[in-house]
Amino acid sequence: MIAIEFRKLRHLKIAPMVLGMLFLLCLFNIGSFGASRIKDLAAELSGIGMIQAFLVPILIATITTRIVEIEHSGGGWRSFSLIGAPPGTLCRTKFAILTIILIPFTLVEILVPLAFYLSAGGTNFKASAWVSYILCVIIMNLLTCMVHIILAHRYDNQLVSIGVGTLGAFIAMFSFLLPRYITRFIPWGYYSLILPATASSETHSLVYTNPGILTYLCFTTLTILIAGGFYYHTTQLNKGES
């Protein structure tokens, strides 16, 4: 089934969309470093985090909706059920495909600019902050993907999933301005909460921070809820076809 899904991706021209966004994100992040007088990597991490929060949820919503919508328009749900792959299994396969896409996408999007920053004389590099952010944002992107697979399966209209993704992107950006105790109750707010860099009122600059144990506990809870919900939903879909 994975091979079949990859053939669908070529038909849907997902690769040019993903590569185009990857190129633009890398170019923007590298360009912002070149235009800055302060070569502080805490500030650059903050910039990457804000761009990630705004643009990547929209990209995930778009590509997820496209690869699920083809099953609605082409009768794929019924066709695959006849060969022993009910809708729940097909949704899980699509998630596996998107995982193969999103993990390298996220790594390249962050590590390529970081390599440029370091080679161009960037200062204040803190490996633990960058590694923790990369791991958390990969998980966050995959959770977002699960949500949009369910939405795209539930609603034939692509605008529903894409609309939710766009709204979520704006909420994620707005969450950078909200108090943390409020942001913890907003799913998209974790794009800001997991970012280990923030503005300091004392130095009036961007500095590394520790998101804190409570934030990580809440993020773990969110991960369990969404992953568990995705597993339950896809299991119910399979039972409905049995």
Q: What are the sequence ranges of the domains in the chain?
A: 2-241
CB 46 within 8 A of CB 176: no
> Rounded to 5 degrees, what are φ and ψ at 195?
-80, 115
Angle between helices 87-119 and 41-74 (to 10 degrees): 150
Higher pLDDT residue, 11 or 68?
Answer: 68
Q: Token pair of 63, please?
A: 């590509």
Residue 85's pLDDT is 79
pLDDT in tens, 176-193: 999 999 999 999 999 999
**Residue 192: enclosing H or E segment and its boundaries?**
helix 190-193
pLDDT in tens, 189-206: 999 999 999 877 666 678
The angle subtended at Cα 209 by Cα 205 and Cα 210, nearest 5°, is 170
